Amino acid sequence: MQTSAPKIRIRPAQYDDIPFIYSMVKALAAYEKEPDAVLSDITEYYAAFESGLIQGHIAEMEGEKVGMTVFYRTFSTWKGVTLYLEDFYVIPEYRQHGIGQQLFDAFVDTARQMGCRQTKWQVLDWNEPALRFYEKNGAVIEKEWWNGKIYF
């Protein structure tokens, strides 16, 4: 007897998805060994989403939310319009079903539909599964640029 593959649906994030997105960002921060680094609160997420500052996708498997992306449009003075992938997370027990690939493909498709010249994101140097995933998708992982920040 053959079992059918789980039904996966990728859809644009909606206002009602903000609590799920916020919880996934916190889960991602914990995974990245920075559980206390999320200083923004959910009201900022609502405002950013409502104003169009951020967008995203939601992955559902069998009707349950299991992953998400958060991204925004920006501009590179060298390359042009860019879609920046701020966060990308699939709940660990739902990995290995192709959900991450479908979410990433939806992000890339959105960038193309928006007329972007490139996509960008950050990945931690110790996150080997993520590095392999991005390289498998043809990404260039820049190792010569360092991040600069000023916290207020």
- Reading the block at residue 35, the tokens are 């559980």
Q: For residues 76 and 93, is the Cβ–Cβ distance under 8 A?
A: no
Q: For residues 86 and 71, is the Cβ–Cβ distance under 8 A?
A: yes
Q: Give the distance from CA 105 to its chain's centroid.
A: 11
Q: Which of 89, 94, 134, 151 is catalytic?
A: 134
Catalytic status, residue 46 = no
Type of residue at 102: Q
Question: Which one, of 36, 42, 97, lies nearest residue 64 by Cα?
Answer: 97
- Give the C-alpha separation, 88 to 104, whole Å: 8
Catalytically annotated residues: 134
